[in-house]
Structure 1
Amino acid sequence: MYQIGDLIHYGDTGVCRITDIKLLDVARSGDERLYYVLDPLYQACSISTPVENNRIFMRPIISKEEAERLIDLIPSIHVEEYHSRVQRELVEHYESSLKTHDCEVLIRLTLSIHAKKQTLLEDNKKMGAVDESFMKKAEHMLFGELSAALDIPIEHLPEYIESRVDAIRAK
């Protein structure tokens, strides 16, 4: 069980701080259940979710050391663009990566979509709406968690990543 003040990754919402743990009445049953009260770090809302929730993914955020290790991996990651003329296949491919809630998978997905965008720009083409949408979702989840783990404001994270990657490449 998590504690008040813990930072967790909660489903597609991303990083949330547990602000309270309380008993709430379960609708129409008269039973009480223990709930986490979550405040998403990058959204203006509050969420109540059962402590024993098997439907929505929850885990502690990664450590600062793990975040730094993942960023240091970026220069060595071989990126493969994913192309499909069938929109459903493209959506399924991207969704399967997002549903892992794994930062390394999200890095690979983000790099892959960025590479695809670059290739398309070189051919004077635009990236599709599905690619754009999933790139934003992946970056939101990834940058939110890295920012929280490293205790860096999210708007400064791209600069931090770039400087760290540049330092590794310079070695």
Structure 2
Amino acid sequence: MYNIGDVVMYGTFGICKIASIEKRDFMGEENDYYILRHVYNEKNTFYVPVDNELAVSRLHKVCSKADVDELIGHMNAEAPIWIDNEIKRKEEYSRIIKEGNKHEIIRLIKTLYLRRKELYAEKKKLRSSDGSYLTLAENMLYEEFAYALDIDRSEVVDYIEKHIA
């Protein structure tokens, strides 16, 4: 159960604050909803049914600076997760994005960075679907890290590079 004022990561939508918990009638049935407001764009409002386990599973509290530093400290140890079969790869990457586990998101980013580097050496590019997963994963991770570290999103990669060694 989340409380009013909690700051959460809401799936791929980003960092939101729970503005209120209200009864709403959206389909002829009144239910309790978390009313989320995106912290960087308050025009974005999301209504998450409190009793919908799947919808609520997409919420998690934003990590702390200590959590970020711990995640960065383990980045080198995270093993890549490249899957040659494109269909299986898409399924796995989609699952990782949906579940939002930061260790797996880091593995996904690392995998696609390394793959892009390999392909670049061969004068090739990432498949567009892999590029899309990379962008989604980066946006999710970097927005949360930026919020936790109280820095601009554009500074996150520099922060990681300074602390990864």
What's the TM-score once normalised by structure 2's chain length? 0.87
Structure-2 separation of matches of 1:83 and 1:18: 37
- What is the distance in 1 between the residues matched to 2:128 and 2:22? 41
Q: How does 1:1-171 map to 2 (within 5 A)?
A: 1-29=1-29, 32-41=30-39, 45-56=44-55, 57-74=58-75, 76-80=76-80, 82-84=82-84, 86-165=85-164, 169=165
Could you say which structure has the larger radius of gyration?
A: 1
Residue-by-residue CA offset, 1:84-130 (whole Å, 9 max, x unaligned):
2x432221121122233111111111011000000000111111101
2:39 aligned partner, one-letter code: L
Identical pairs, percent? 29
Question: Normalised by the size of structure 1, how large is the TM-score?
Answer: 0.84
Task: State the Cα distance separating 1:63 from its structure 2 match.
Answer: 2.1
After superposition, the Cα gap between the structure-2 partners of 1:34 and 1:109, relative to the gap in structure 1 and judged at 3 Å, is same
**Structure 2 regions of 5+ residues with no counterpart?**
none
Q: How many aligned positions are there? A: 162
The two structures, once aligned, show a CA RMSD in angstroms of 1.9
Change (3 A) 1:70 1:22: same
Asked if the contact 1:4–1:21 (Cα under 8 Å) also holds between the matched residues in 2, the reply is yes
SS in 2 for 1:17: strand
CA contact (8 A) 2:10 2:59 kept: yes
Unaligned runs of 5+ in 1: none
Deviates more, 1:151-160 or 1:20-29: 20-29
